[in-house]
Amino acid sequence: MEAVLTIENLQVEFETFGGSVQAVRGASFQLFKGETLAIVGESGCGKSVTSNAIMGLIPNPPGTVKAEKIMFKDKDLSTFTKKQFREIQGKDISMIFQDPMTALNPTLTIGEQLTEGLKTHKKISSADVKKKAIEMLNLVGLSNPEDRLKQYPHQFSGGMRQRIVIAIALICEPELLIADEPTTALDVTIQAQILELFAEIQQRTGVSIILITHDLGVVAKIADRIAVMYAGQVIEIGTKRDIFYNPQHPYTQGLLNSVPRLDLMEEELKPIDGTPPDLFAPPPGCAFAARCPKAMIVCNKVEPDTTAINEFHQVSCWLQDPRVKQ
């Protein structure tokens, strides 16, 4: 499988008045061409910081990004300057931010906002710009696109605005789309329509998607693979089937137990006891040890290595380490 993105040992640190916070602590993963990888975890686990680091959006200061590499195709983004990032942002890599409702400028028409990226990144005639804008509004399912181009954001419903935001993100035909909680602000019906739209667009354009979410229902609908983050690390990664039906990390197991299952409606939610560790001073061993029902002595002392369960499924937990496991 061809990798669009390969991240090795990503570390993101923020200097604050209280000391330095290690928001991402050695995250590694790959994104394959045409797939949707969901990054899941509780708030503060580093999932948004990871996506912002890929996009070159971590302000320095107070942030510092380090990585062995962040390969986007043949380019190593870990060596990129601000100027180099500006050249690929919105063109090769696009991002849909957490709050789609405020992502549009109320004073500009949809047409102006939709075509801004095209005009910046591509040398094409104004007739072609308009043609492309209409094509994009059609792609995201807005009727009468020609009239829509002249309208302002307030003339659209929340769901339609989210479709427009997606059209803006995709108009330059990026190879990578990062969507950070793209449906959190929408009601359930609209949410389902937007998720369907993502799947449809991916089929038609072949775009690779990183979907950041805390909602396992969303993940179940559209992810191919899932990376579970905890305390700034990817603690388990695998196909949707691996993670949902054969979770190996006690945190992943806890996350899955904490959501109501559609087939077991009456089952009670089981929140995971405790809180994530302080990232000002992460513990020396496994970051989940204080909350883990299966913690052993070694867990508090030494960080677990990553163990491969199968070709796609990896976990960082002492329980799966061949040196502990008999």
Smallest distance from Mg ion to CB 184, Å: 9
Q: Binding residue for ligand SF4 (CB under 6 A) from 182, 250, 254, 276?
A: 250
- Could you tell me which of 283, 281, 212, 285 has the C-alpha nearest to residue 16? 281
Nearer to ligand SF4, 41 or 174 (CB): 41
CA angle 57, 236, 29 (to 5 degrees): 45
d(CA 232, CA 250): 16
Q: Give me the least distance between CB of 128 and ligand SF4, in Å please.
A: 54
What are the strands, taking DSSP E only, across the chain? 3-16, 19-32, 36-40, 63-66, 69-72, 75-76, 93-96, 176-180, 208-213, 225-230, 233-239, 306-308, 314-316
Find the helix or strand (DSSP H, E) in which 82 lies: helix 82-88
Partner in contact with 230, chosen from Mg ion, ligand SF4, none, beta carbon below 5 to 8 Å by kind: none
Residue span binding Mg ion (CB under 5 A) among the ranges 23-31, 48-56, 89-97, 129-137: 48-56
CA distance 22 to 7: 17
DSSP H or E run through 165:
helix 158-170
DSSP bridge partners of 235: none
User: Encoding tokens for residue 12?
Assistant: 């993101």
Task: With H, G, I as helix, E, B as strand and everything else as coil, classify residue 10.
Answer: strand
What's the rounded Cα separation, in Å, for the pair 158 and 179? 17
**Per-residue mark of binding to ligand SF4, 269-288 (x: CB under 6 A):** -----------------x-x
CB 316 to ligand SF4: min, Å? 7
Rank residues 90 and 277 by Cβ distance to ligand SF4 and give the closer one: 277
CB of 315 to ligand SF4, least distance (A): 8
Asked, as a colleague might, if the bond just before 247 is cis with ω within 30 of 0, I would say: no
Query: Quick check: 10 binds ligand SF4 (CB under 6 A)?
Result: no
Which CB sits closer to ligand SF4, 79 or 258? Answer: 258
Residue 301 binds ligand SF4 (CB under 6 A): no
Which positions from 173 through 212 interact with ligand SF4, judged by CB under 6 A?
none
Among 14, 72, 97, 318, binds ligand SF4 (CB under 6 A): 318
Of 42 and 173, which has the nearer Cβ to ligand SF4? 42
* Among ligand SF4, Mg ion, none, residue 304 binds (CB under 5-8 Å by kind): ligand SF4
Task: Name which position in 28, 36, 48, 115 contacts Mg ion (CB under 5 A).
Answer: 48
- 167, 148 in Cβ contact below 8 A? no
Q: If binding is defined by CB under 6 A, does position 319 make contact with ligand SF4?
A: yes
Q: Which residues contact 319 (CB under 8 A, 6 or more apart)?
A: 248, 250, 294, 296, 325
Nearer to ligand SF4, 199 or 297 (CB): 297
Residues in contact with Mg ion by CB under 5 A are 48
Residues in contact with ligand SF4 by CB under 6 A are 249-250, 286, 288-289, 292, 294-296, 299, 304, 317-319
